[in-house]
């Protein structure tokens, strides 16, 4: 547990440093982020269920900053509700890092997928994600 806490603290520090740069702030605003809105910070191995539970509590579009320890970088996703435009589906046990890798590998610029979770808000048919490596 202390290793997880240390990683989350490092992820927060990394996000704080990135937010101090004009280039990173421009990346965020280009994706629809408005200064002062919540950013969901996640570790690469956090489950989609855990991350999306936090996303549902924010106002879309939501920025998800994923910290990848292996190469010490943040990867950015923008999430907003949307109808599923693919047969692809994601289960809650999938990690957010795996999902990010899949989106990048298939170069889905505005990919919408089915999130298989019984407790997802009923008005949400899918989740549109766009990724941007940092």
Ordered by start, the domain boundaries in the chain are 2-133
Reply yes or no on whether the pLDDT at 117 is more than 50: no
Query: Would the pTM of this model clear 0.85, i.e. be above it?
Result: no
Chain centroid offset of residue 65 CA: 6
* 78 phi, psi to nearest 5 deg: -115, 125
Torsion-angle region of 68 (φ positive above 0: left; ψ -120 to 50: alpha; else: beta): beta
Determine the pLDDT at residue 127: 54
pLDDT in tens, 2-27: 678 999 999 999 999 999 999 989 88
């Amino acid at each position: 547990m202390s290793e997880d806490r240390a990683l989350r603290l490092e992820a927060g520090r990394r996000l704080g440093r990135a937010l101090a740069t004009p280039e990173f702030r421009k990346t965020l605003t280009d994706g629809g982020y408005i200064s002062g809105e919540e950013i969901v910070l996640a570790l690469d191995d956090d489950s989609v269920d855990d991350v999306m539970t936090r996303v549902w509590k924010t106002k879309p579009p939501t920025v998800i900053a994923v910290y990848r320890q292996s190469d010490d970088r943040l990867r950015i996703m923008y999430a907003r509700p949307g109808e599923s435009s693919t047969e692809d589906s994601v289960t809650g046990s999938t990690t957010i890092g795996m999902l990010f890798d899949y989106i990048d590998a298939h170069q889905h610029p505005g990919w919408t997928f089915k999130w298989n979770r019984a407790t997802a808000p009923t008005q949400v048919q899918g989740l549109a994600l766009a990724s941007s490596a940092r």
